[in-house]
Amino acid sequence: MTTGEDRVPSLADELLTLQLSAEPLGATLLGVPGHDDRLADVTEAAEQVTRAAAVDIAARADALVAAGTGDVVTAKVIAQQAGALVDRIDARMPEYTVTDIFVGPAASLLTYLPMIVLPDADRADAFLTRLRAVPEHLEQVADRHRAGVAAGRVPVRRGVDAAIAHLDRYLGTDPAADPLLAQQPAGELDVAAFTEERARIVTEVVRPALAGYRAALVDEIAEHGRPEDRPGLCALPGGDAAYAALSRVHTTTELSPEELHQTGLDVIESLRDEYAELGSRVFGTSDQAEIFHHLTSDPRLRWRDAEEMIEHARAAVERAEEAAPRFFGRLPGQRCRVEPVPAAEAPGAPAAYYMPPSLDGLRSGVYFANTDRAHERDRFLAEATAFHEAVPGHHFQLTIAMELTELPLVRRLADVNAYSEGWGLYTERLAEEMGLYSDDVSRFGMLGLDSMRAGRLVVDTGLHAKGWSRAQAVDYLRANTPLSDLEIGNEVDRYIAYPGQALSYMVGRLEIQRVRAAAEARLGDRFDIRAFHDLVLGGGPLPLTVLAEVVEAWQG
């Protein structure tokens, strides 16, 4: 007789196989073998097969939770992750997602394919097979866009134009400098033959396929694009349901758009006193508009050049690494690299992001800082951003999760934005406790990023649930955050292209702060900050409701 305890690990493996089969490029980047020769099948027929399997897995996981036998925490993670897979499919994003950021179909290929490591002949051969699959993949994507047009689920014209411009940059570069040719294969293989075949495939297969996708965007999709006064999902048929689904995915809650919107407004208001106190000390004014003017207009608060920006980020990460043992018992087994965003992706990329290490150890974790137009970027945000993306933020959370070999792999790799982004935002405030900010100007970065994440709740719901225009979103962030116009524009375009993801940060941070405060109140002098952080990071990414249960059980 099979027990509930026996069924949980096998169900975890079943879900992981389903997830990685649906996202084979992601599997390779994570270092999970067996998917290295494929790209995702994004046809609706394939997605519906995946959806049916995910519905079945979620139902069986819910039954195990109800029975209360075996590893209930893992069963709850399985149920949430399977449900999130269903919600993503139901949102039909391949139909209307056209953008130059990494969630865009062509942008994702050009961002992630160059990151693949080729340590041996088998994976080098698999990489060539994957490159040969690019035309079929992009034709599937174009067909989904066409279906979206037929159903009235169309992309935003601004995003289409940005995607076309990105492809123009790529296709206009010297083929010899193509980023898809950059990886140096290792192992026992004929390097010259591999290099020659790869160059042939890129020249004769990949580049024409990307040019063909560009032509489809220009000739068939762009003219149908939504204008900037209707960029939200609420402008599409079924858009309200799609946004509700994506909100569940990214927050792991059932909070309504109105509740999320109001939370953002409340946090924005709560920051005013902190701005006033710090502004009086630094700029001699407590007026928030004047403080923002100082932060966004003073040329001394901009970077001299890209090199200065990267050096500053590396210094902040090193400072955090030195202080970390006083606040964490468990430390990651590898350090975080700091690199600039690749030049071809930089114009449309976020201000910064983190790429986690691979399970196979072939690629270390990297904090990418966007040095494009460095002289226009805000210097005061740099330290808080480094703490969020690198140490003790995403590098700690994601690297430690991968090292939790006692957990099922699905727990270590679970995609729970509210947990991971909530942790990243939590560490920006934790950095103040750790004494990491170098001066009061850098503390404005902590407040500024708080404003931005609270503003994300307001703007994301404003765009996708309340029908805001792009200009309304820009105006709100300009009035309520100390960000440059460059950063604000990039932020808003990201929210438009990636609905719901921006909700995860502040929702997760507030919940981590809440469970920590509850534990401190209950345990009193027995509360150990190192043990608390080890607990939060020691279970892998958890849905917020499950995290709260784990912390409550820990308190005894």
pLDDT tens digits, 99-123? 999 999 999 999 999 999 999 999 9
- What's the rounded mean pLDDT across residues 539-553? 98
User: Cis bond leading into 155, ω under 30°?
Assistant: no
The pLDDT tens digits for 366-406 are 999 999 999 889 899 999 999 999 999 999 999 999 999 99
Question: pLDDT confidence of 166, banded at 50, 70, 90?
Answer: very high
Quote the pLDDT of residue 244.
97
> Is the predicted pLDDT of residue 533 greater than 90, yes or no?
yes
Contact partners, residue 499, CB within 8 Å, separation at least 6? 91, 232, 233, 242, 243, 246, 460, 463, 464
Looking at the structure, tell me whether residues 368 and 393 fall in a common domain.
Answer: yes
- What's the rounded mean pLDDT across residues 321-332? 98
Quote the pLDDT of residue 367.
96
Does residue 387 lie within any of the structural domains? yes
Question: pLDDT confidence of 343, banded at 50, 70, 90?
Answer: confident
The pLDDT tens digits for 255-272 are 999 999 999 999 999 999
Domain C-terminal end among 176, 211, 234? 234
> What does residue 34 show for φ and ψ, rounded to 5 degrees?
100, 0
Does residue 84 lie within any of the structural domains? yes
- What's the rounded mean pLDDT across residues 149-175? 96
The pLDDT tens digits for 21-73 are 999 999 999 999 999 999 999 999 999 999 999 999 999 999 999 999 899 99
Domain C-terminal end among 184, 215, 234? 234
b/e burial code for range 336-367 (CB count within 10 A of at least 16 → b)? bbbebbbebbbbbbbbbbbbbbbbeeebebbb
Question: pLDDT confidence of 187, banded at 50, 70, 90?
Answer: confident
**Summary mean pLDDT of the chain:** 96
Looking at the structure, tell me whether residues 14 and 54 fall in a common domain.
Answer: yes
Quote the pLDDT of residue 344.
75
Q: What percent of the chain has pLDDT over 90?
A: 91
Question: pLDDT confidence of 361, banded at 50, 70, 90?
Answer: confident
Does residue 542 lie within any of the structural domains? no
Does residue 145 lie within any of the structural domains? yes
- What's the rounded mean pLDDT across residues 518-544? 98
Looking at the structure, tell me whether residues 227 and 263 fall in a common domain.
Answer: no
Which position has the higher pLDDT, 186 or 20?
A: 20
C-alpha distance from residue 35 to each of 20, 27, 86, 180, 366 (Å): 8, 7, 21, 19, 23
Which range among 194-203, 347-356, 418-427, 439-448 shows the weakest confidence by mean pLDDT? Answer: 347-356
Quote the pLDDT of residue 440.
96
Quote the pLDDT of residue 5.
61
Looking at the structure, tell me whether residues 226 and 335 fall in a common domain.
Answer: no
367 strand-pairing partners: 338, 354
- What's the rounded mean pLDDT across residues 442-454? 97
Quote the pLDDT of residue 294.
94
Q: What is the 3-state secondary structure (H, E, C) of 327-366?
A: CCCCCCCCCCEEEECCCCCHHHCCCEEEECCCCCCCCCCE
Looking at the structure, tell me whether residues 365 and 343 fall in a common domain.
Answer: yes
340 strand-pairing partners: 369
> Is the predicted pLDDT of residue 3 greater than 90, yes or no?
no
Looking at the structure, tell me whether residues 244 and 229 fall in a common domain.
Answer: no
Looking at the structure, tell me whether residues 68 and 208 fall in a common domain.
Answer: yes
Query: Exposed, middle or buried: residue 544 (CB in 10 Å: 0-12, 13-18, 19+)?
Result: buried
The pLDDT tens digits for 303-318 are 999 999 999 999 999 9
Does residue 247 lie within any of the structural domains? yes
How many domains, the chain? 2
Looking at the structure, tell me whether residues 321 and 367 fall in a common domain.
Answer: yes
Does residue 552 lie within any of the structural domains? no
Looking at the structure, tell me whether residues 352 and 473 fall in a common domain.
Answer: yes
Does residue 503 lie within any of the structural domains? yes
Can you give the pTM of this predicted structure? 0.94
C-alpha to C-alpha distance for 369 and 367, rounded to whole angstroms:
6
> Domain range holding 74?
4-234
Sign of the Cα torsion 441, 445, 451, 455 reads: positive
Looking at the structure, tell me whether residues 390 and 472 fall in a common domain.
Answer: yes
> Is the predicted pLDDT of residue 1 greater than 60, yes or no?
no
The pLDDT tens digits for 406-427 are 999 999 999 999 999 999 999 9
> Is the predicted pLDDT of residue 136 greater than 70, yes or no?
yes
Quote the pLDDT of residue 4.
55
For residue 359, how far is the Cα from the chain centroid? 18
- What's the rounded mean pLDDT across residues 168-196? 92
Looking at the structure, tell me whether residues 310 and 164 fall in a common domain.
Answer: no
Quote the pLDDT of residue 223.
98
Does residue 540 lie within any of the structural domains? no
For residue 266, how far is the Cα from the chain centroid? 25
Looking at the structure, tell me whether residues 270 and 328 fall in a common domain.
Answer: yes
Domain C-terminal end among 209, 234, 259? 234
Question: pLDDT confidence of 2, banded at 50, 70, 90?
Answer: low
